[in-house]
Structure 1
């Protein structure tokens, strides 16, 4: 198979979808790999390293899309890439369709095969290609939140961990999954007083057992959220519903309950956000203020630490890339239920329920699409 890796062109996105080590593995199986020039530089990988591993370096993004059977990326295609995508071309990347109607319709129109990292799902319902970036984003949420609590950045002017004689900051984490767990660990490690909320009592019992003494668990509901936000300095939104929009746990009217300089970090913003007033921002302009509350809503947070993020992500994606390349996407999805669940849009048809519901589009059963494609 011919595999193409374009350079990411989303604002301040420095990750790359394949490392030189990944190229080496693909070349072992006889696959051709084409990398756009300087695609890996932001993550610390030079063109020479890719060439030494057996990749061919192409000058432009147009060349990469034109030659490849499968495009492997990190972030969803943006508008200037839409027309480069060919009918039946396989795209393997983060899509988050439920947060972008424009992207959804563009991929339908291009009749691409869109296999989304974020909906590849194991039998235990874990999301193996979302976990690495969730771990990074959860830890970064606290790092960024602590920074924006500083007064010059319009925060409350409070040190997350406090000092002897001064109470630490209070951190509220909404969601006890991978992001929330990592955020709570980081905040607790810095000495903050942390409350983590979730709707799953079994998960809360687990978190209560593993978390340090300065972390409390609490059932997530509107009453408890309204009570906690009044005294919280940093609030981290860490809610995920795979492939669907995140629910708004903090609504516009709740901002009035918060103290001026409170910081909100919505890690779920790439799935629509769990804070109503959050809209996607960039690393270049990461924050905005509403009612005195600082909103940090960068949709590609791990892009700020590209070396760590790239290696962590490719550790998880490469086995799936190899399956897709070795077998072709149809056979790979028939053989592996995890990959099958990653299919979102196939040849102009929406095959993932969360995407169909988000934009009120007709849903085609993925098994039907697979049968039709294989029969052609």
Structure 2
């Protein structure tokens, strides 16, 4: 198969979909790998490293899309890329369709095969291609939250871990999944007073067992959220419904119950956000303020630590990319249910129910294409 790796063009996105080591593994198996020139530089990988691994360099994004049967990316295509995507081309990347209708419509019109990292799902309901970036984003949410709690950045002026004789900051984490667990670990390690909320009692029991003494668990419901937001300094939204829009757990009216300088970090922004006042921001302009509450809603948080993120992502995606390249997408998805669940749009048909429901679009059973 001919595989193309395009350079990411989203604002301040420095990750790349494939490391030189990953390229070498695909080349070893007889595939051709084409890397757009300088695609890896933001993550610390030079063109020469890719050519030494057996890949070939193409000068432009247009040439890369034109050449490839499978495009590997990190972030969803943005408007300048829509017309570059061809009929029957396999695009393997994060899409987060349910949060952005224009992208969904563009990919329907392209007649491409859209296989989304975020909906590849194991039998235990875990999301293997979302987990590495969720781990990064969860840990970063505390790192960034701690920074924006500083007074010059309009926060409350509180040190996350406190000092002897002074109480630490109080951190509230909405969601006990991968993002929430990593956020809680990081916040606890920095000495904060942490509360993590979830709907699942078994999950709360598990977290209660593994977390240090400065992490408390609490059942998630509107009453409890309203009770806690007025006393917490940093609030992290870490809720995910695979392939669907995140629910609004913090509504506009709740901001007035928070103290001035409270910081909100919405890690669910890629899926529409779990904070009603959340609007996607960039690393260039990461925050805005509503009712004296600081909102940090960067849609590609792991892009700020691209070396770590690119390695973590390739570790997870490469085994699936090899299956797709070796067998073709139809056979690979038919033989691997995890990959089948990654299919969102095929030749203009929406084959992932949550995406169809998000925009009231016709839904087509994926079996139409795999049988």
Does the pair score TM above 0.5? yes
- After TM superposition, list the pairs within 5 Å mapping 1:80-95 onto structure 2: 80-95=80-95
Q: Distance in 2 between matches of 1:54 and 1:31?
A: 10
Equivalent position of 1:242 in the other structure: 242
Equivalent position of 2:117 in the other structure: 117
3-state DSSP of counterpart to 1:138: helix
3-state DSSP of counterpart to 2:295: strand
- After TM superposition, list the pairs within 5 Å mapping 1:90-101 onto structure 2: 90-101=90-101
Q: Distance in 1 between matches of 2:330 and 2:109?
A: 20
Following TM superposition, by how much is the alpha carbon of 1:32 offset from its aligned partner in structure 2, in angstroms? Answer: 0.4
Equivalent position of 2:290 in the other structure: 290
Equivalent position of 2:134 in the other structure: 134
Following TM superposition, by how much is the alpha carbon of 1:340 offset from its aligned partner in structure 2, in angstroms? Answer: 0.1
3-state DSSP of counterpart to 1:176: coil
Equivalent position of 1:345 in the other structure: 345
> Are residues 1:28 and 2:28 paired?
yes
Q: What's the RMSD between the two structures over aligned residues?
A: 0.4
Equivalent position of 2:327 in the other structure: 327
3-state DSSP of counterpart to 2:264: strand
- After TM superposition, list the pairs within 5 Å mapping 1:1-376 onto structure 2: 1-371=1-371
Q: Distance in 2 between matches of 1:355 and 1:83?
A: 21
Following TM superposition, by how much is the alpha carbon of 1:29 offset from its aligned partner in structure 2, in angstroms? Answer: 1.0
Question: In 1, are the aligned partners of 2:330 and 2:369 still within 8 Å (CA)?
Answer: no
3-state DSSP of counterpart to 2:38: coil
Q: Distance in 2 between matches of 1:164 and 1:80?
A: 53
Structure 1 unaligned residues grouped into runs of 5+:
372-376
3-state DSSP of counterpart to 1:288: strand
TM-score by length of 1: 0.98
Following TM superposition, by how much is the alpha carbon of 1:369 offset from its aligned partner in structure 2, in angstroms? Answer: 2.7
Q: Cα deviation per residue 1:59-102 (whole Å; 9 max; x = unaligned)?
A: 00000000100000000000000000000000000000000000
Equivalent position of 1:374 in the other structure: none
Following TM superposition, by how much is the alpha carbon of 1:133 offset from its aligned partner in structure 2, in angstroms? Answer: 0.2
Farther-moved stretch of structure 1 (22-31 vs 362-371): 362-371
Following TM superposition, by how much is the alpha carbon of 1:370 offset from its aligned partner in structure 2, in angstroms? Answer: 2.5
Q: Distance in 2 between matches of 1:25 and 1:48?
A: 16
Structure 2 unaligned residues grouped into runs of 5+:
none
Following TM superposition, by how much is the alpha carbon of 1:143 offset from its aligned partner in structure 2, in angstroms? Answer: 0.1
Q: Cα deviation per residue 1:327-355 (whole Å; 9 max; x = unaligned)?
A: 00000000000000000000000000110
3-state DSSP of counterpart to 1:249: coil
Q: Distance in 1 between matches of 2:23 and 2:240?
A: 32
Q: Cα deviation per residue 1:261-320 (whole Å; 9 max; x = unaligned)?
A: 000000000000000000100000000000000000000000000000000000000000
Following TM superposition, by how much is the alpha carbon of 1:368 offset from its aligned partner in structure 2, in angstroms? Answer: 1.3
Q: Distance in 1 between matches of 2:2 and 2:161?
A: 51
